[in-house]
Amino acid sequence: MKKLKNSVNRIKYIFFLFLFIKCDGSKLNNNFDSCDEIYYLMEDQEKSWNSGNIDDFMIPYWKNDSLIFLGKSGVNYGWEKINNNYKNNYKNTIEMGRLEFNNLICKSLNDTTHIVTGKWSIYRLDSSKNIGGYYTLIWIKKDKDWKIIYDHTS
């Protein structure tokens, strides 16, 4: 009888342990998956930039007049304005160089809002013209797609 009671208790323990790990792990995986989705979008942005395609680079940005970009020239509003600024400041692939993102932090505020902070670098043939800095991006999930609604790049 004692062996049976120990076996039942052991099974209960394993069941509750499994349930605890399963619930806790699924929560972590949801956040991890969202950050992974965003990181993949940013990898696509790197590829687009490095192939000289600013239009594709801009796909993750919210195509709206309320999009905010804060950079060296101050605050800019709207997808069109930001897209035009990129095209005016980087007229060809030589000026664009090779972009690399190094994401440092992905913080989930809730299921549909994430903040990503990291470092960006642009490497050029003439290394004396390399540039870089840091960024903070606010990503919002809109209609099943992640979109950048706010970009502070320094």
**77, β-bridge pairs:** 68
DSSP string, the chain: -HHHHHHHHHHHHHHHHHHHHHHHHHHHHHHHHHHHHHHHHHHHHHHHHHTT-HHHHTTTB--STT-EEEETTEEEESHHHHHHHHHHH--SHHHH-EEEEEEEEEEEEETTEEEEEEEEEEE-SSGGG-EEEEEEEEEEEETTEEEEEEEEE-
pLDDT band at 19 (very low <50, low <70, confident <90, very high): very low
What confidence score (pLDDT) does residue 57 get?
98
The rounded distance, in Å, linking the Cα atoms of 144 and 111 is 11
What confidence score (pLDDT) does residue 33 get?
87
Q: Which residue has the higher pLDDT, 17 or 116?
A: 116
Q: Which of 21-25, 32-36, 56-60 has the lowest mean pLDDT?
A: 21-25
Q: What is the pTM of this model?
A: 0.78
Q: Across residues 38-52, what is the average pLDDT?
A: 98
Which CATH fold would you assign to the domain 2-153?
Answer: Nuclear Transport Factor 2; Chain: A, (3.10.450)
pLDDT at 24 over 70: no
pLDDT band at 9 (very low <50, low <70, confident <90, very high): low
